[in-house]
Structure 1
Amino acid sequence: MKRRHATLSDIAKALNVSASTVSRALHDSPLIRKETKDSVIAMAKALNYQPNQQAIGLLNKKTKIIGVIVPEITGYFFATAINGLQDFVENTGYKLIIGQSNESFDQEAKLMETLSLARVDGLIISPTSETTSNIHLEKFRESGIPVVVFDRDCPNFLSDKVFVDDYEGAFQAVDYLIKTGCRKIAHLGGPANLTTCRCRKRGYLDALTQNGITPDPQLILEVPGFTPDCGEEIIRDLLDREAIPDAIFAVNDAVAIGTMPVILEKGLRIPQDISLIGFDDEPYSQYFMPSLTTVWQPVYELGLLSGRILMNHILHSPEEYDYRYELLKPELIVRQSSKPLV
């Protein structure tokens, strides 16, 4: 049997009063006697009455709901960003509806349609690796719903944007490897259509050239994903070549960690033969042997700031509002997988 929630009419029927009287009593109207208010409140508790917040929101032209779309929610990065966002909205009276696109543009578009029908007051989104069109985002903006793009960019889409400086993080990592004496530095980069991956590759290339090292195309490889399996597969191919690198800068920690058993299997040592640096500072990266040198990202702050900026936009009319572009600073965390500075 389908469960039915108690309504204003149920309370009214139980007390033999009108539904409008119940509504006024629950809203503490001065037109309703205290005895009636007390009876209505007691009956509402007895029937476990819960007001329909979405319906109330629609009457006020605000649902107090924020939509969030991310590629995945099980990994550390997006889970931590959502945690920061949740902590921010907790005291604002707003709720989150979180959708996982699974790196599928079609799924992302469907989620946005669902959120539009739910009449969310705003959207925070990190686009998929397949997202090359901004049409679905433009529809949101045209309907007056503010959008914050975070972590991954949607070029040519005008909105508030919050990112980590991937270029700076990559530059720091590769510059450090060079300062420890490494010269043949490989880059295991992510899908080229993602802005984060392109920025990390550009930081890698600039660190080499600014230190007088000509990039070797044979040492620049693109991994299809961000899992340890991707790192394991691509490092086998790289180490089977004649020119073995003396360092590896990977697009993320998982790919870097996936290379470790293969490097050791080939009789090579970390970091004596090959230094290794990842990106993200996943919590588990410090517990490997050797512990992983990596680039820390302020992920919690990324979610927190995205929420703050979106709320600021919700509270201001478009005429009063200037879009913000925020770039948070990463930090190199040196551990045992890279050589120390000489």
Structure 2
Amino acid sequence: MKKSRVTLTDIAKALNISASTVSRALKDHPAINKETKRAVVKLAKKLKYQPNLLALGLLQKKTYTVGVIVPEITGHFFSTVITGIRDVLSPAGYNIAICLSNESFQEEIAITEKMAKTQIDGVLVSPASSTKTYKHFKALQKNGIPLVVFDRDCPGLDADKVLVDDYDGAFQAVEYLINSGCKNIAHLSGPMNLSITEHRLQGYLDALGKHKFPVKQENVIHVSGFTHEDGIKPAQKLLKLKNRPDAIFAMNDCIAISAMHVAKKMGLQIPGDVSIIGFDDEPHSSYFTPALSTIWQPVYSVGMLSARILLSKLQEGEEEPELRREVFKPELIIRASSKAV
């Protein structure tokens, strides 16, 4: 016969107190005296009491689940962000439901619709590369579901946001290449409509402009995605130019490593013939030969802060805070794939 779950009522009857007193004692409520708290906690441990989260959720109109929507999960960036999110929400009693949009706008819409129907408590999202409008996010907000956007901005959407200063990171990388003596600097840029693509491209252009370098249209090529495969043909196109670049700033480390692979196959020396700098500081980047120069960003902190902001909105009795826009500063990491200044 299946053993029944120990309830608050069971503990209350054993101690001859009310179930509400037991509940408040387990929550360390200041109105309950210390002796009662000790007795309740001791008996709860003895009986191996576990709170019924489903019943608690129904009572408080909460599911204690937060949705996390990300474009992918195989890379270091989003897996680390999710770890940061979990490390904040789990101790607070929340589960996380991870959903992959696979860079699809339609899939992202379908996910948000399902989340609204399951009455999820809050949503953390990094939008897909194909996302251009935000009606589906606004629909969540209209349903009373708080939303925090991280990594990739949604311009014009009123929501809490946790971002990295992509412009500054790109500017640092390109200015370093200039200061190291590079004269013809190319950029392997990201998918067209992403905020991070726009900001990193603008950082590249402004660094060139500051040092009065000409902007060559053929030196900027947009990749279709963020994998190694996505970078091969664009890198080949750049390195086969008649006026071949002597430096490449890549959208991310995967694309930068693709450029290194192509350069080596063409017999080019790195950084003698071409300096290469990436963006993200993936863990494996320092183990390539030569080790990849890159832009480090505080990925784990992005996840933690995003979760903390959402958690502040989920806390009972807290006044609605103003929208927050937090921007982390990245850092240039110089390794062997770029010339020394």
TM range (shorter): 0.7 to 0.9
Aligned to 2:231: 231
- The CA distance in 2 between the partners of 1:268 and 1:236, in whole Å, is 12
TM-score, scaled relative to structure 1? 0.86
One-letter code aligned to 1:198? E
1:208 aligns with 2:218: no
Aligned to 2:177: 177
| Structure 1 position 133, deviation (Å) | 1.6
- The CA distance in 2 between the partners of 1:187 and 1:317, in whole Å, is 49
Contact 1:5 1:50 in 2 (8 A): no
1:303 aligns with 2:288: no
Q: Which runs of 5+ in 1 are unaligned?
A: 12-21
Give the 3-state SS of the residue equivalent to 1:256 in structure 2: helix
Identity of aligned residues (%): 47
Greater mean deviation of Cα atoms: 299-308 or 223-232? 223-232
One-letter code aligned to 1:66? V
| Structure 1 position 30, deviation (Å) | 1.3
Aligned to 1:24: 9
Aligned to 2:162: 162
Distance 1:219 1:56, change over 3 A: same
Distance 1:65 1:245, change over 3 A: same
1:329 aligns with 2:316: no
One-letter code aligned to 1:60? Q
- The CA distance in 2 between the partners of 1:62 and 1:169, in whole Å, is 40
| Structure 1 position 31, deviation (Å) | 5.0
Contact 2:116 2:143 in 1 (8 A): no
Contact 1:164 1:329 in 2 (8 A): yes
Aligned to 1:120: 120
Give the 3-state SS of the residue equivalent to 2:267 in structure 1: coil
Deviations 1:236-266 (A, max 9, x none): 1222220100100000000110111221222
Give the 3-state SS of the residue equivalent to 1:148 in structure 2: strand
Deviations 1:44-79 (A, max 9, x none): 87xxx9765234212112222111110111210000
One-letter code aligned to 2:149? V
Residue correspondences, number: 317
Deviations 1:67-101 (A, max 9, x none): 11101112100000011111111221111111111
Distance 1:289 1:220, change over 3 A: same
- The CA distance in 2 between the partners of 1:318 and 1:174, in whole Å, is 45
Distance 1:306 1:334, change over 3 A: same
| Structure 1 position 112, deviation (Å) | 1.4
| Structure 1 position 290, deviation (Å) | 0.4
| Structure 1 position 7, deviation (Å) | 6.3
TM-score, scaled relative to structure 2? 0.86
Deviations 1:268-290 (A, max 9, x none): 11001100000000000000000
- The CA distance in 2 between the partners of 1:211 and 1:281, in whole Å, is 26
Superposed, 1:1-342 pairs within 5 Å as 24-26=9-11, 30-31=17-18, 52-315=52-315, 320-341=320-341
| Structure 1 position 186, deviation (Å) | 0.4
Distance 1:335 1:139, change over 3 A: same
Moved segments of 4+, more than 2 Å: 4-8, 26-29, 49-52, 315-320
Contact 1:88 1:307 in 2 (8 A): yes
- The CA distance in 1 between the partners of 2:115 and 2:101, in whole Å, is 13
One-letter code aligned to 2:83? N
Contact 2:125 2:149 in 1 (8 A): yes
- The CA distance in 2 between the partners of 1:5 and 1:271, in whole Å, is 68
Contact 2:313 2:320 in 1 (8 A): no
Contact 1:190 1:224 in 2 (8 A): yes
**For the aligned residues, what is the CA RMSD?**
2.4
- The CA distance in 2 between the partners of 1:84 and 1:5, in whole Å, is 38
Distance 1:284 1:116, change over 3 A: same
Contact 1:6 1:50 in 2 (8 A): no
